[in-house]
Amino acid sequence: MKIRIWDPVVRIFHWSTAGIFFINYWLVDSGPLHRWLGYGVAGLLMTRTVWGVIGSPYARFRSFFPTPTRIIKYLHGLRGGEHPGYPGHNPVGAMMIFTLLVLLLLLCLSGWMMGWDMFWGVDWVEDTHETVATLLHILVGIHVAAIFLTDFFYHQGLFRSMITGFKEVYQPTEH
């Protein structure tokens, strides 16, 4: 059954952030464009943070916050051969989302700090920025792989849902 999950704000945030991150990581290594694109991500993060509090039901952070209880229940279900269906993010996916958001914030903050006089040429700030960017790149790869594996095994159309807003809610077959 398909239901509307991702509103336009969430989808625009997702694809804009992904596009800017790709451009800044692979195509624009430094300079004014890199900096302004970074400011763009910071603005997107601020918008998503507000939307995570006041937005549509599945956009609100509280609807998918990965509590230990939720994570354990989900993992026990997977271990038992079930795939507990979640309209929005499952708890493990939610852990990834929150990790990516925090790392993007740290990336923006460290990049911004590199322009301050007091941190100009300070190695740990630049090293932090580069390390976080690399870590984000690795986690994005895991994120994308998990989406395709979940789609392969459970046919939820996760990739398509971030384009259309509609997601196929998994309903296990009974034996």
User: Containing H/E element for 121?
Assistant: none
The answer to the question of residue 121 being in a domain is: yes
112 inside domain: yes
Convert the pLDDT of each residue in 23-65 to its tens digit. 999 999 889 999 999 999 999 999 999 999 999 999 999 999 9
Domain count along the chain: 1
Position 114 pLDDT exceeds 70: yes
Tell me whether residue 174 is in a domain.
Answer: no
**Structural domain contains residue 142:** yes
Q: What is the CATH number of the domain that holds 9?
A: 1.20.950.20
Give the Cβ contact number of residue 38 at 10 Å. 23
Inside any domain, residue 173: no
State the greatest distance between any 2 C-alpha atoms of the chain, in Å, as a whole number.
66
3-state class (DSSP) for residue 161: helix
13: containing domain: 2-168
| pLDDT score at 81 | 81
pTM of the model as a whole: 0.91
